[in-house]
Chain A
Amino acid sequence: MRGKVLHAVGLTAVVVFSLFPFLWMVAASFKTQADILASPPVWFFTPTLQNYTEIFADTKVSGAIINSLIVATCSTILAVLLGAPAAFALARYEFRGKSDLWFWFISNRMISPIVLALPVYLLAMQANLLDTHLVLILIYLTFQLPIVVWIVTDQFKSIPADLEQAARLDGADQFTIFRKIYLPLGAPGIAVSAIFSFIFSWNELLYALVLTRRNVQTAPVVATSFMSGYELPWGKIMATGTVIVLPVTIFALIVSRHMVRGLTMGATK
């Protein structure tokens, strides 16, 4: 009984610790500037939609969210479309250079992104791709592919090889085996990698800042852009933050059932 109480107290502490900043952001987005800056903080206030009407009146924010959606969705779809077949090959076939290829995928994530920012900027400029959706989709793809390939390869490896052989004897070709056996059974891993990819693209700030100007600024770039000038419009920043977090939260909730299954997979055989 005492253990249960302690357990509950511990869990509550973790939940409060994780959710408080989020609550603070959402609450602040409904406050006036005076309430936000009040000291001691105001816990009970009259909510206002002022901040939201202001940011939605500004086409910059809605445009940025649309840009973010385009870039994150396209790069995630591409990463899964390209990564899942690659993972199938890595999980099931023996070929020359397999381990090198595998290491190459891992080594992609060993470099700090900022090291590549300047070369990538120069490349994009030469190719006339600055300030386009395409450049962000391509650069995010290079970060997402390793994530998808790792997670999905691992998932595919956990599928017994006997299933593939049974399907071969049943007359299925490689593509059918991939589509009818590996994709459905690997769905949890694919869902997890898609969530990670989407969140990565959605949150990414460095390359979005470096490679875009006015046309394709993404949501994080716009949120930080409020921080320039002579005042800090906290209400607008918090409202934008809330709007940015919303789509990812919804996306994660939708696929979370698969995500939990995927993350516990392999824990028990």
Chain B
Amino acid sequence: MTFLRLDNIRKNYGDTPVIKGVSFAATKGEFVVFVGPSGCGKSTLLRMIAGLEDVSSGELYIDDRDVTYEEPAKREVSMVFQSYALYPHMSVFENMAFGLRMAKKPEAEIKAQVTEAARILQLEALLDRKPRALSGGQRQRVAIGRSIVRHPKLFLFDEPLSNLDAELRSQMRVEIAKLHRSLGATMVYVTHDQVEAMTLADRIVVLRAGLVEQIGSPTELYDNPANTFVAGFIGSPKMNFVNAKVASAAGDSLLLEHPTFAGGKLTVKTPSAARVKTGETVIVGLRPEHLSVNAATPVLSLTLDFAESLGGSTQLYARSEGEPIIALTAGRPDLKPGDVLNLGIDPRHIYLFDAAGLAL
């Protein structure tokens, strides 16, 4: 059942379009993540759902109700801000109670709700403190507490973890995932961090320059990226791209040429072979984690530039035309800069894109 629906939403600042027609629907209880580079419009889109930014055109529905021009408070949504936006002059209790007081709830109910939220978020001991006496992680928890006390229909998160250090970030990520499971609420989460997107999302909406590039589950986006942008954005380290030339196309197999390939040539099988012609460019995508070192039948034959040991795994940078080719391998292979790298890959893991970057 559709719970949140965006219908051709657009936003202009003066003559400059920022959101150029976004349509999308989320079901009840779904965890949706908007991801994209800075300036892609993901935060603007979230703030439009909250009602903090006007919608230039298009329609917005929450729980089958048209809220396109509705006041923020009447949309029954809550939002966790990147800056937390706690009221500095109020105690933790009053911060969480503020929304309930605005709704003129009886004092007993306010106390019960805030106490319950504080219990869930382990804030009971801090209720009398002012925000300035809290650590970053505690402030983050209060901000989340403030959003859950009102039992909103929709939770919005605007890069909530970006002000935290790495350890706290992964800890809070787990807590948000748990919270989503225990509340069963619909959540929309904005981040530029693809790891957060992959780990938290039921579905990811990849945005670029005000347009949706692809919508899908984390594994769908990883396995079947619609274009080179999504392919490069999802996955870490980034996917390697090789701009190869089509030497010949016959049946369902393509013969590709590029100096990076072992022997300068690579044969791939693809059902879309008929869509490209000889002489055209095809972009070959290879994920670093799919490349294996010392393969019997290497696909790439390159020189190692340098290696970064991450302890359990090693990141290899190989010299090639343009961007270096990166391979991620388990353990610590005995390799020195200047050594020849024979990299192999399972043919099923080769991604192909046309010259415009669209998946073949």
Contact = CB atoms under 8 A, between A and B. Distances in A.
A3 interface: no
Interface string B39-72: 0000000000011100000000000000000001
B81 A166 contact: yes
Contacts of A168: 51-52, 72-73
B234 to A, nearest CB: 30
Contacts of B146: 166, 170
Contacts of B99: 169-171
Interface string A171-184: 11000100011001
Contacts of B72: 165, 168-169
Given A168-B72, A168-B73, A169-B72, A163 B102 contact: no
A165 B52 contact: yes
Contact of B98 (A162, A165, A170, A185): A170
A194 B269 CA distance: 80
Nearest to A170: B99
Contacts of B79: 165-166, 169
- Chain A: interface size category: 10 to 19
A181 B103 contact: no
Contacts of A184: 89
Contacts of B83: 160, 162
Contacts of A185: 88-89
A176 B87 contact: no
A180 B88 CA distance: 11
B71 to A, nearest CB: 8
Contacts of A169: 50-52, 72-73, 77-79, 99
Nearest to B99: A170
B85 interface: yes
Nearest to B77: A169
B81 A165 contact: yes
A209 interface: no
A170 B81 CA distance: 13
Contacts of B87: 163, 166-167, 181
A111 to B, nearest CB: 37
Interface in B87-131: 87-89, 98-99, 102-103
A180 B87 CA distance: 10
Contact of B73 (A162, A163, A171, A181): A171
B229 to A, nearest CB: 30
Contacts of A167: 87, 98
Contacts of A180: 98
A170 B77 CA distance: 9
A175 to B, nearest CB: 12
B101 to A, nearest CB: 9
B81 A171 contact: no
A180 B101 CA distance: 12
A166 B102 contact: no
B45 to A, nearest CB: 15
Contacts of B98: 167, 170, 172, 180
Contacts of B102: 170-172, 176
A172 B146 CA distance: 14
B103 A171 contact: yes
A162 B72 CA distance: 14
Contacts of A162: 81, 83, 85
A169 B149 CA distance: 13
A190 B85 CA distance: 22
Question: Which of B78, B87, B146, B150 lies at the interface centre, i.e. has the most chain A CB atoms within 10 A of its CB?
Answer: B87
B283 to A, nearest CB: 41
Contacts of A160: 83, 85
Contact of B85 (A163, A171, A172): A163
A35 to B, nearest CB: 53
A154 to B, nearest CB: 18
B14 to A, nearest CB: 12
Given A169-B72, A170-B146, A171-B103, 6 more contacts: A165-B79, A166-B85, A168-B72, A172-B73, A172-B98, A184-B89
